[in-house]
């Protein structure tokens, strides 16, 4: 656990690095370079190996070809040495006949053997007999003195290299002459040129022990000295005078070359402006002291390596870009997954929120329902209380209403007794009639009170006469209206039937009339006007109650229908009358509104609408 701890941040850093596009571009670049280098090296090595194998095979072929060609007549000089004609010549070197006979024999052998020239010379180099009249090679005497059996020399007349085989002629155990067989290597060289042309620009050269190119498929290289031969060797070369053309000409080819693997060299071919890479391989032909060098052009191998390198770079780039693509895809997928989980989380939170809000709403709803129920109960109680309040208010007037007729009734009864005692039956009858009227009036008042105090049913099922209700309400307040000398103006069609419950409608009217009377109490003109007008084509009726009081202030107007809003002194007003009245009108399907009178009039106007059924006798 502890051992892994430091790795963690490093792994995180590496992970972050892998996610960066910059890293992938760097990786792509790196892979391109790697691909380039590796493909180049691989292709070059393979191409070079193939070329080297091919070249080795050819080199073997050329070497065996050359060895066979030069070894073909190796025994010819020794065979000729025992020829009697030449023996005779050696015995008499100055004899012209012997010389001619020897020359003729040598000419025949030369033709038969296919050699270039055969001649016999003294150890000093003087030609005694020859198959052809060709000049002898330079420094022949030196070669004879050195005891050489063969050597190479350039033929200045043909420009090609000749191979000389030497064999001493002995007379009495002493060497007094030499037999020389001369081969011209030009035809063999010509086949090499031909082969070289057919083998993708392969060049062949043969260098002798002095590092002079004595044969080559490239004519310009002939008699050049390999790799700047050192001055002592150069001097020796000049002294030998075997290759006059070699003087001052160098070939930039190393003297020592890797025998098997081959070595890359850079050579400028004749006619070319630039040096080109070549694979040089060599093989020694030891008995002849020669080195055979094959030079294969590497340009094509390099070109192929170049193509392979670009291919490798493209491969590296595609791997890098693939990694970039995969990384960005992985990143996009990760972001998508993150977004999905965030969405899921948000969805979950939203659902939770909705659930909690729903629960809150349900609670609020329940609380509201409870409040409404409580309110309804309170309102019902208030309605009843308001009735009781009205009843209380009326009790004073009621006692006056009842006491007055009672007093009158007592007076009339006493008066009637006295009239009966005096026998005035007519007057008694008149008194009784008055008394009956009074009783009737009293019973009407009590009837109203009874109906008013009863708790009303909620449902409005029938219709009532609006005029009757107005009259009843006025009757209930009659004592007050008489005291204050109220002028009442009722303008309601007698047949107008409205959808309402008489008892509650009268309660509304009593409220409105009572308020109007309160307001006009101290006014000089006290006029109450009650009107009914058709609305909606007669389907509804607008009931309007106007007074000539001071009205309410603009500021108080919006508060009239608020519970417990009152301007009356304490003990006189509860501030419930209009609230209850508005509620009752609402139960009847109408709306109660208040407005101040304008246009010169002053006072208040309260109006409400009710469904109307019959406008008989009304001007619709
Ligand atoms: P209360 O009569 O017990 O005060 P109401 O709800 O019936 O309660 O009336 C509320 C208030 O409205 C009254 O105190 C009064 O100020 C005002 N008001 C009602 N009717 C009139 C009116 N006709 N003229 C002037 N003010 C009125």
Q: Where do we find the tokens 């006798």?
A: 617
Element (H, E) at 487: strand 487-491
Write down the pLDDT at residue 496. 94
| Whether 507 and 581 share a structural domain | yes
Which of 244, 213, 210 shows the shortest CA–CA distance to 229?
210
Distance 522 CA to ligand 1 centre (A): 15
Distance 498 CA to ligand 1 centre (A): 26
Distance 567 CA to ligand 1 centre (A): 7
Of the two residues 392 and 154, the one the predictor is more confident about is 154
- Read off the pLDDT band of 195 (50, 70, 90): confident
| Whether 480 and 596 share a structural domain | yes
The tokens for 296 are: 């294969």
Angle of the 425-453 helix axis to the 502-520 helix axis, nearest 10: 100
Distance 511 CA to ligand 1 centre (A): 9
Distance 45 CA to ligand 1 centre (A): 118
User: Is 552 a domain residue?
Assistant: yes
- Given 414, 434, 454, the domain boundary residue is 454
Write down the pLDDT at residue 261. 62
Distance 510 CA to ligand 1 centre (A): 12
Q: Is the CB of 210 under 6 A from ligand 1?
A: no
**pLDDT of 620 above 50:** no
Q: Which ranges of 422-497 would DSSP assign to H, the alpha helix?
A: 425-453, 466-476, 478-483
User: Is 325 a domain residue?
Assistant: no
| Whether 607 and 462 share a structural domain | yes
Residues 188 and 89: beta-carbon distance below 8 Å? no
| Length of the chain (residues) | 620
Residue 296 and residue 54: Cα distance in Å, rounded?
A: 9
| Whether 521 and 554 share a structural domain | yes
Choose which residue among 393, 509, 515 to substitute to test ligand 1 binding: the one with the highest number of ligand atoms within 8 A of its C-beta. 515
| Whether 447 and 508 share a structural domain | no
Distance 573 CA to ligand 1 centre (A): 8
Mean pLDDT for the stretch of residues 403-431: 88
Supply the residue whose CA is at minimum distance from atom 7 of ligand 1.
577
Average of per-residue pLDDT values in the chain: 84
Q: In this structure, what CATH number is given to the domain that contains residue 463?
A: 3.30.565.10
User: Is 424 a domain residue?
Assistant: yes
Of the two residues 38 and 445, the one the predictor is more confident about is 38
Supply the residue whose CA is at minimum distance from atom 2 of ligand 1.
573
The tokens for 87 are: 């023996």
CA distances from 161 to 115, 182, 184, 222 (A): 13, 10, 6, 9
Write down the pLDDT at residue 390. 59
Opening angle at CA 208, ends 207 and 214, nearest 5? 60
| Whether 466 and 554 share a structural domain | yes
User: Is 212 a domain residue?
Assistant: no
- Read off the pLDDT band of 3 (50, 70, 90): very low
Backbone angles phi, psi at 534, to 5 degrees: -70, 145
The tokens for 482 are: 């008489």
**pLDDT of 411 above 70:** yes
User: Is 246 a domain residue?
Assistant: no
Q: Max Cα separation, the chain?
A: 237
Q: Which ranges of 498-572 would DSSP assign to H, the alpha helix?
A: 502-520
Q: Which ranges of 521-617 would DSSP assign to H, the alpha helix?
A: 577-587
Write down the pLDDT at residue 228. 57
> Could you report the per-residue pLDDT of 481-535, keeping only the tens digit for each?
989 999 999 999 999 999 999 988 998 999 999 999 999 999 999 999 999 999 9
Ligand 1 atom nearest residue 514's Cα: 2
Give how many domains the chain has, as a whole number.
2
Ligand 1 atom nearest residue 580's Cα: 6
Q: Is the CB of 235 under 6 A from ligand 1?
A: no
Backbone angles phi, psi at 130, to 5 degrees: -150, 150
Distance 515 CA to ligand 1 centre (A): 5
Supply the residue whose CA is at minimum distance from atom 14 of ligand 1.
566
Q: State whether residue 564 is helix, strand or coil.
A: coil
- Given 454, 471, 499, the domain boundary residue is 454
Residue 461 and residue 463: Cα distance in Å, rounded?
A: 7
Least confident span in 49-58, 89-98, 237-246: 237-246
444-451 long-range contacts (CB < 8 A, ≥24 apart) are 444/475, 445/398, 445/401, 445/402, 445/475, 445/476, 448/472, 448/475, 448/476, 448/506, 449/391, 449/394, 449/398, 451/502, 451/503, 451/506
Distance 524 CA to ligand 1 centre (A): 19
Domain enclosing residue 582, as ranges: 458-611
Residues 285 and 65: beta-carbon distance below 8 Å? no
Give the number of other CB atoms < 10 A from CB of residue 389. Answer: 16
Residues 530 and 490: beta-carbon distance below 8 Å? yes
Q: Is the CB of 216 under 6 A from ligand 1?
A: no
Choose which residue among 544, 546, 571, 578 to substitute to test ligand 1 binding: the one with the highest number of ligand atoms within 8 A of its C-beta. 578
User: Is 400 a domain residue?
Assistant: yes
Give the number of other CB atoms < 10 A from CB of residue 318. Answer: 14
Residue 126 and residue 117: Cα distance in Å, rounded?
A: 15
| Whether 445 and 471 share a structural domain | no
Q: Is the CB of 177 under 6 A from ligand 1?
A: no
Q: Is the CB of 575 under 6 A from ligand 1?
A: yes
Distance 26 CA to ligand 1 centre (A): 91
| Whether 489 and 590 share a structural domain | yes
Residues 270 and 218: beta-carbon distance below 8 Å? yes
Of 284-288, 369-373, 565-569, 605-609, highest mean pLDDT: 605-609
**pLDDT of 328 above 90:** no
Distance 457 CA to ligand 1 centre (A): 26
Q: State whether residue 305 is helix, strand or coil.
A: helix
Residue 604 and residue 607: Cα distance in Å, rounded?
A: 10
User: Is 128 a domain residue?
Assistant: no
| Whether 425 and 504 share a structural domain | no
pTM: 0.48
Choose which residue among 566, 597, 606, 607 to substitute to test ligand 1 binding: the one with the highest number of ligand atoms within 8 A of its C-beta. 566
Residues 161 and 246: beta-carbon distance below 8 Å? no
Mean pLDDT for the stretch of residues 25-37: 91
Ligand 1 atom nearest residue 547's Cα: 23
Distance 65 CA to ligand 1 centre (A): 146
Which of 193, 190, 138 shows the shortest CA–CA distance to 164?
138
Distance 560 CA to ligand 1 centre (A): 7
Backbone angles phi, psi at 158, to 5 degrees: -100, -20
User: Is 130 a domain residue?
Assistant: no
- Given 411, 435, 454, the domain boundary residue is 454
Give the number of other CB atoms < 10 A from CB of residue 83. Answer: 16
Residue 225 and residue 240: Cα distance in Å, rounded?
A: 14
Supply the residue whose CA is at minimum distance from atom 21 of ligand 1.
515
Ligand 1 atom nearest residue 572's Cα: 3
| Whether 485 and 585 share a structural domain | yes
- Read off the pLDDT band of 1 (50, 70, 90): very low
Q: Is the CB of 563 under 6 A from ligand 1?
A: no
Element (H, E) at 541: strand 540-547
Write down the pLDDT at residue 170. 82
**pLDDT of 61 above 80:** yes
| Whether 582 and 532 share a structural domain | yes
| Whether 426 and 446 share a structural domain | yes
**pLDDT of 322 above 70:** yes
Write down the pLDDT at residue 556. 94
Computed on alpha carbons and rounded to an integer, the radius of gyration of the chain in Å comes to: 76
Question: Who's near 553: CB < 8 A, 6+ residues apart?
Answer: none
Question: Who's near 173: CB < 8 A, 6+ residues apart?
Answer: none
Q: Is the CB of 401 under 6 A from ligand 1?
A: no
Distance 558 CA to ligand 1 centre (A): 12
Write down the pLDDT at residue 224. 79
Q: Is the CB of 19 under 6 A from ligand 1?
A: no
Distance 546 CA to ligand 1 centre (A): 13
Distance 448 CA to ligand 1 centre (A): 24
Write down the pLDDT at residue 497. 94
Q: Is the CB of 288 under 6 A from ligand 1?
A: no
Ligand 1 atom nearest residue 576's Cα: 6
Question: Who's near 28: CB < 8 A, 6+ residues apart?
Answer: 316, 317, 319, 320, 321, 323, 324
Ligand 1 atom nearest residue 516's Cα: 23
Residue 180 and residue 170: Cα distance in Å, rounded?
A: 14
> Could you report the per-residue pLDDT of 578-597, keeping only the tens digit for each?
988 998 899 899 999 999 99
CA distances from 15 to 12, 23, 288, 327 (A): 5, 11, 71, 11
Supply the residue whose CA is at minimum distance from atom 25 of ligand 1.
551
Element (H, E) at 61: helix 21-71
> Could you report the per-residue pLDDT of 348-400, keeping only the tens digit for each?
999 999 999 999 999 999 999 999 888 888 877 776 776 666 566 556 556 66
């Amino acid at each position: 656990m502890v051992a892994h701890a430091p790795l963690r941040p490093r792994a995180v850093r590496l992970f972050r690095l892998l996610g960066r596009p910059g890293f992938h571009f760097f990786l792509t670049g790196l892979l391109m370079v790697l691909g380039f280098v590796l493909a180049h090296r691989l292709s070059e090595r393979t191409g070079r190996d193939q070329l080297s194998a091919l070249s080795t095979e050819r080199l073997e072929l050329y070497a065996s070809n050359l060895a066979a060609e030069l070894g073909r007549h190796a025994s010819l000089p020794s065979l000729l040495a025992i020829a009697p004609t030449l023996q005779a010549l050696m015995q008499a070197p100055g004899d012209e006949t012997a010389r001619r006979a020897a020359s003729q024999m040598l000419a025949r052998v030369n033709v038969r053997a296919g050699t270039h020239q055969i001649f016999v010379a003294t150890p000093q180099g003087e030609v005694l007999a020859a198959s052809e009249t060709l000049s002898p090679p330079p420094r022949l005497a030196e070669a004879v003195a050195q005891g050489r059996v063969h050597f190479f020399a350039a033929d200045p007349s043909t420009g090609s290299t000749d191979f000389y085989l030497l064999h001493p002629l002995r007379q009495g155990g002493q060497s007094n002459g030499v037999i020389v067989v001369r081969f011209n290597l030009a035809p063999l060289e010509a086949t090499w040129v031909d082969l070289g042309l057919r083998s993708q620009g392969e060049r062949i050269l043969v260098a002798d022990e002095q590092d002079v190119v004595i044969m080559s498929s490239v004519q310009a290289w002939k008699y050049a000295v390999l790799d700047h031969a050192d001055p002592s060797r150069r001097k020796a070369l000049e002294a030998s005078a075997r290759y006059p053309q070699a003087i001052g000409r160098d070939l930039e080819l190393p003297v020592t070359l890797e025998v098997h693997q081959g070595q890359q060299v850079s050579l400028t071919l004749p006619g070319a402006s630039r040096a080109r890479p070549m694979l040089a391989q060599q093989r020694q032909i030891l008995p002849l002291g020669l080195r055979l060098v094959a030079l294969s052009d590497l340009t094509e191998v390099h070109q192929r390596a170049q193509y392979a390198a670009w291919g490798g770079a493209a491969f590296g780039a595609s791997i890098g870009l693939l990694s970039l693509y995969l990384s960005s895809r992985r990143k996009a997928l990760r972001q998508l997954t993150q977004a999905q989980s965030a969405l899921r989380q948000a969805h979950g939170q939203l659902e939770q929120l909705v659930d909690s809000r729903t629960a809150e709403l349900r609670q609020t709803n329940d609380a509201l329902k409870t409040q409404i129920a409580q309110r309804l109960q309170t309102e019902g109680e208030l309605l009843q209380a308001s009735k009781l309040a009205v009843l209380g208010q009326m009790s004073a007037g009621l006692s006056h209403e009842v006491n007055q007729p009672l007093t009158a009734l007592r007076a009339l009864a006493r008066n009637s007794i006295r009239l009966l005692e005096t026998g005035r039956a007519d007057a008694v009858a008149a008194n009784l009639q008055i008394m009956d009227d009074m009783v009737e009036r009293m019973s009407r008042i009590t009837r109203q009170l009874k109906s008013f105090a009863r708790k009303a049913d909620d449902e409005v099922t029938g219709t009532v006469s609006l005029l009757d209700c107005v009259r009843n309400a006025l009757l209930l307040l009659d004592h007050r209206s008489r005291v204050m000398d109220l002028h009442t103006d009722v303008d309601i069609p007698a047949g107008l039937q409205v959808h309402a419950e008489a008892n509650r409608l009268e309660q509304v009217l009593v409220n409105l009339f009572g308020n109007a009377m309160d307001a006009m109490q101290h006014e000089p003109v006290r006029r109450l006007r009650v009107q009914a007008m058709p609305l909606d084509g007669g389907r509804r009726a607008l009931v309007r109650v106007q007074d000539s009081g001071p009205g309410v202030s603009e500021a108080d107007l919006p508060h009239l229908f608020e519970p417990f809003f009152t301007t009356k002194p304490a003990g006189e007003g509860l501030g419930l009358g209009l609230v209850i009245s508005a509620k009752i009108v609402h139960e009847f399907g109408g709306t109660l509104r208040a407005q101040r009178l304008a246009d010169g009039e002053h006072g208040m106007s309260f109006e409400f609408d009710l469904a109307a059924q019959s406008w008989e006798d009304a001007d619709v």
